[in-house]
């Protein structure tokens, strides 16, 4: 028995050290099978023609998500034209490798085309544009994309509990329904809260409307609200919790919440993350970890410290374990999988990076082992 374990470790370590040894016994995808957990990653279509990128992606993940290819500026570049070429490439790859596809994202305040952001529209015009966008994009991928981030990052981290100022929120009237505001008033305890909640209710109307339009476009698709910096118990996740509970009570079609999980400074409050997952899944919605990465400080030659790589592995293991301890947490997705292609570099002016399970040469890192060992341990 001992030599077999020795053989296993050596094969995996050999593989991870890129010594061209045989593929390890179990990939992330295989390790996740026992827990019926989706293990996914964000994908860039331009890299699919790179053999190491394509083979690692297909071997290790059973789900993928376009990192940028389905955002407005890419898929809806002109008022009357849609460009599905990049999205279709990714969908074709997934179909050829039996992978599920998450859609990202139908409504966001970033990566919107100039024709949308630099022209003043009435509420009715903007509502028409938004409905057409959602129904055209979701309609094109109906039956192929199983889950959508319908709305992304609508809550304002600078003003916890409030909605961010965006072209969608600031154009009152998109989908505001009498009962949206009224439903909030009912729950208010006193006038000051009453008016604040009523205001939020009316502002939130566009979110509700987008979920209704997406459901009309593909009644089978799972609909998610996706957010950053709401992974733990905090005023932002409280506001999202109130919205999701209200939507569930009023029958607004919502199936899940996406917690992005961009971990900074190697700090993750796992107990609070677990408690947050517990309360949301108790509402009857699924939780997906949608954009996980664990950024590390880089030295002058763009290398992370060895001790940080071990701490990073612990963060991946602990967060995956927290997800696996809740039946309603049904997917873990990393925001890219190789340090060769990650948003963190450009976003941090190259001071941070090395955030993902594979290094720039597609060698698996301690983070890979951390994630895989949690997956192998399965649901608790």
Cβ pair 106, 130 in contact under 8 A: no
Q: How far is the CB of 141 from ligand G3I (least distance, A)?
A: 17
Q: How far is the CB of 147 from ligand G3I (least distance, A)?
A: 15
The yes or no reply on residue 110 touching ligand G3I (CB under 6 A) is: yes
Cβ pair 288, 333 in contact under 8 A: yes
Report the distance separating Cα 149 and Cα 258, nearest Å.
8
Catalytic residue among 60, 131, 291, 369: 291
Element (H, E) at 40: strand 38-43
The yes or no reply on residue 68 touching ligand G3I (CB under 6 A) is: yes
* CA–CA distances in Å: residue 291 to residues 43, 260, 379: 11, 4, 21
Q: How far is the CB of 110 from ligand G3I (least distance, A)?
A: 5
Q: How far is the CB of 263 from ligand G3I (least distance, A)?
A: 13
Question: Of 16 and 296, which has the nearer Cβ to ligand G3I?
Answer: 296
Strand pairing category for 286-294 and 329-334: parallel
Strand pairing category for 222-227 and 147-152: parallel
Give the contact letters, 306-325, x = binds to ligand G3I (CB under 6 A), - = no: --------------------
Report the distance separating Cα 265 and Cα 277, nearest Å.
22
Give the contact letters, 266-305, x = binds to ligand G3I (CB under 6 A), - = no: -------------------------x--------------
Cβ pair 113, 72 in contact under 8 A: yes
> In sequence order, what are the residues at sequence separation of 6 or more whose Cβ sits closer than 8 angstroms to the Cβ of residue 354?
295, 296, 298, 303, 304, 308, 309, 312, 339, 365
Total number of residues that touch ligand G3I (CB under 6 A) = 9
- CA 86 to mean position of chain CA atoms: 19
Question: Of 62 and 105, which has the nearer Cβ to ligand G3I?
Answer: 105
Question: Of 24 and 258, which has the nearer Cβ to ligand G3I?
Answer: 258
Q: How far is the CB of 228 from ligand G3I (least distance, A)?
A: 6
Question: Of 121 and 343, which has the nearer Cβ to ligand G3I?
Answer: 343
Question: Of 12 and 260, which has the nearer Cβ to ligand G3I?
Answer: 260
Chain residue whose CB lies nearest ligand G3I: 343
153 is annotated as an active-site residue: yes
Q: How far is the CB of 29 from ligand G3I (least distance, A)?
A: 22
Name which of 280, 290, 303 is nearest 353 in CA terms.
303
Question: Of 111 and 122, which has the nearer Cβ to ligand G3I?
Answer: 111
Report the distance separating Cα 378 and Cα 70, nearest Å.
32
Question: Of 60 and 67, which has the nearer Cβ to ligand G3I?
Answer: 67
Name which of 189, 192, 163 is nearest 176 in CA terms.
163
Residues 189-228 that bind ligand G3I (CB under 6 A): 228
**HSE-up of residue 355 (Cα within 13 Å, Cβ side):** 28
Q: How far is the CB of 268 from ligand G3I (least distance, A)?
A: 17
Return the structure tokens found at 363. 């060698």
The residue within the footprint of ligand G3I, chosen from 89, 343, 360, 377 (CB under 6 A), is 343
The residue within the footprint of ligand G3I, chosen from 111, 165, 265, 361 (CB under 6 A), is 111
The residue within the footprint of ligand G3I, chosen from 260, 321, 330, 338 (CB under 6 A), is 260
Residues in the chain, how many?
380
Catalytic residue among 60, 153, 231, 369: 153
Report the distance separating Cα 126 and Cα 117, nearest Å.
11
The one-character DSSP state at 234 is: S
Which residues does the annotation mark as catalytic?
A: 153, 291
| Site residues, ligand G3I (CB under 6 A) | 67-68, 110-111, 152, 228, 260, 291, 343
């Amino acid at each position: 028995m001992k030599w077999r374990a020795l053989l296993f470790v050596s094969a995996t370590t050999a593989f991870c050290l890129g010594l061209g040894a045989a593929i390890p016994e179990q990939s992330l995808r295989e390790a996740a099978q026992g827990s019926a957990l989706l293990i996914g990653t964000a994908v860039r279509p331009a890299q699919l023609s790179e053999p190491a990128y394509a083979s690692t992606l297909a071997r290790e993940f059973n789900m993928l998500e376009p990192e940028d290819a389905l955002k407005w500026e890419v898929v809806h570049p002109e008022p009357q034209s849609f460009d599905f070429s990049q999205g279709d490439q990714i969908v074709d790859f997934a179909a050829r490798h039996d992978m599920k596809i998450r859609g990202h994202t139908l409504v966001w305040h970033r990566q919107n085309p100039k024709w949308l952001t630099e022209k003043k529209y009435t509420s009715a015009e903007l509502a028409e544009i938004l409905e057409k966008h959602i129904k055209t994009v979701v309609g094109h991928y109906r039956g192929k994309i199983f889950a959508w981030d319908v709305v992304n990052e609508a809550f304002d981290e600078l003003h916890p509990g409030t909605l961010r100022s965006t072209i969608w929120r600031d154009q009152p009237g998109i989908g505001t329904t009498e009962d949206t505001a009224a439903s909030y008033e009912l729950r208010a305890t006193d006038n000051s809260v009453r008016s604040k909640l009523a205001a939020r209710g009316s502002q939130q109307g566009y979110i509700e409307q987008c979920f209704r339009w997406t459901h009309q476009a593909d009644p089978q698709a799972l609909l998610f609200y996706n957010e950053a910096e709401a992974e733990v118990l905090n005023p932002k996740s409280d506001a999202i919790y109130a919205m999701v509970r209200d939507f569930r009570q009023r029958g607004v079609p919502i199936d899940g919440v996406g917690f992005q999980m961009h971990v900074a400074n190697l700090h993750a409050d796992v107990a609070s993350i677990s408690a947050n997952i517990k309360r949301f899944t108790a509402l009857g919605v699924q939780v997906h970890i949608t954009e996980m990465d664990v950024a590390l400080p880089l030295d002058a030659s763009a290398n992370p410290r060895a001790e940080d790589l071990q701490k990073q592995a612990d963060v991946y293991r602990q967060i995956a374990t927290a997800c696996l301890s809740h039946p309603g947490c049904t997917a873990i997705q990393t925001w890219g999988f190789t340090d060769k292609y990650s948003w963190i570099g450009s976003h941090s002016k190259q001071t941070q990076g090395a955030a993902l399970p594979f290094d720039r040469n597609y060698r698996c890192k301690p983070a890979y082992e951390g994630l895989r060992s949690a997956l192998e341990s399965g649901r608790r």
